[in-house]
Amino acid sequence: MTERADRRGCLVRDRQVLASPRPDFRFQAEDVVVVVGTPENTAAVGELLRSGWRAPRPYA
C-alpha cells in the first residue's frame, strides 16, 4: 500500500464537495478540509497545513 492509498481528503467550499483537489489548488479562508486516514497521516496533513507548505513549482 502506498502512502497516498491510506489517506483520503476532500474540501468543502460553499456547500460544494471538491474531492482530491489538484496540487495547484488554492485554499480560501472559509474552506473546510476533510482528511481520513491513520492518525499519523492525518497529523502529517495537519502539520503541512499549519506550516504553510507550498507545492514545488514545475520546471520551466
12 within a domain of the structure (yes/no): yes
Strand partners, 7: 37
Which one has a higher pLDDT value, 15 or 4?
Answer: 15
pLDDT over 60 at 9, yes or no: yes
56 within a domain of the structure (yes/no): no
pLDDT in tens, 11-52: 999 999 998 888 788 889 999 999 888 899 889 888 888 887
Rounded to 5 degrees, what are φ and ψ at 12? Answer: -115, 125
60 within a domain of the structure (yes/no): no
Given this model, what pLDDT does residue 55 score? Answer: 63
pTM for this entry? 0.60
Given this model, what pLDDT does residue 53 score? Answer: 67
Given this model, what pLDDT does residue 14 score? Answer: 94
17 within a domain of the structure (yes/no): yes
3-state helix, strand, coil in the chain (%, to 5): 25, 30, 45
If one counts every other C-beta atom within 10 angstroms of the C-beta of residue 19, the result is: 9
Tally of domains in the chain: 1
Q: What is the domain extent for residue 33?
A: 4-51
Beta carbons of 9 and 45 less than 8 angstroms apart: yes
21 within a domain of the structure (yes/no): yes
